[in-house]
Amino acid sequence: MAFQQPPLPFDFGALEPYGMSGRTFEFHYGKHHKAYVDNLNKLTQDTELADKSLEDVIRISFSDPSKAGIFNNAAQVWNHTFFWNSLKPAGGGVPTGELAARLESAFGSFDEFKKQFSTAAATQFGSGWAWLVSEGGTLKVTKTPNAENPLVHGQVPLLTLDVWEHAYYLDFQNARPGFIENFLSKLVNWDFVAQNLATV
């Protein structure tokens, strides 16, 4: 069965009051994400990877230089789906409950988490991703270049921010720090993060 592009968890225009335009999603979801899905299906058609899970394709292809094209498209399909779920209208702010306690334990304070996450996102040179992950039960902030993600490093992703230019240029132009601040203050889906943490 061909790899599918999951539907967005909100309408294209749902985040417009919170800094991300419907036009961004027309391009980012409708063209970029769709192209990764289409390319992945072309690259894996009639191969042993066609019937694997997306996560298995990512792990298998990451360690095989001859499958770099497959890895890049498979990981970008996964990363984008995860990113959409990291967003919600009227999100952001301060998490509560177990997640809040774990963040405070790991980073000393929620503000320190925000600082480390913002720094990771702002200092990822070129294209890539900032992540909150669980590694061996410990929460940490990390960043990855291009399509790379925590799955290939044995980490459990909890939250991500896409810092490829196509994620923010229509709304924020070259102001990546403004995009990062807007994400943390208005868009993070802390319920999704808490659900991911509960599986660790």
Regions in the chain scoring below 70 on pLDDT = 1
Entry pTM = 0.96
Residue 1 confidence (pLDDT):
61
Write out pLDDT tens, residues 8-17. Answer: 999 999 999 9
Asked if residue 33 belongs to a known ligand binding site, the reply is no
Query: Which domains, from first to last, does the chain contain?
Result: 21-85 (1.10.287.990), 97-198 (3.55.40.20)
Exposure string for 74-89, b = 16+ CB within 10 A, e = fewer: bbbbbbbbbbbbbbbb
Asked if residue 80 belongs to a known ligand binding site, the reply is yes
Name residue 182's amino acid: N
Tokens of 196: 């991911």
Are 110 and 100 a contacting pair, CB within 8 Å? Answer: yes
Residue 113 confidence (pLDDT):
98
CA–CA distance, 200 with 186 (Å, rounded to integer): 26
Phi, psi at 36, each rounded to 5°: -65, -40
CA–CA distance, 167 with 90 (Å, rounded to integer): 19
Integer angstrom CA distances of residue 119 from 26, 87, 114: 28, 19, 8
Q: Which of 142, 149, 141 lies closest to 110, judged by CA? A: 141
Asked if residue 28 belongs to a known ligand binding site, the reply is yes
Write out pLDDT tens, residues 106-142. Answer: 999 999 999 999 999 999 999 999 999 999 999 999 9
Tokens of 48: 């042993």
Asked if residue 153 belongs to a known ligand binding site, the reply is no
What one-character DSSP code corresponds to residue 174? T
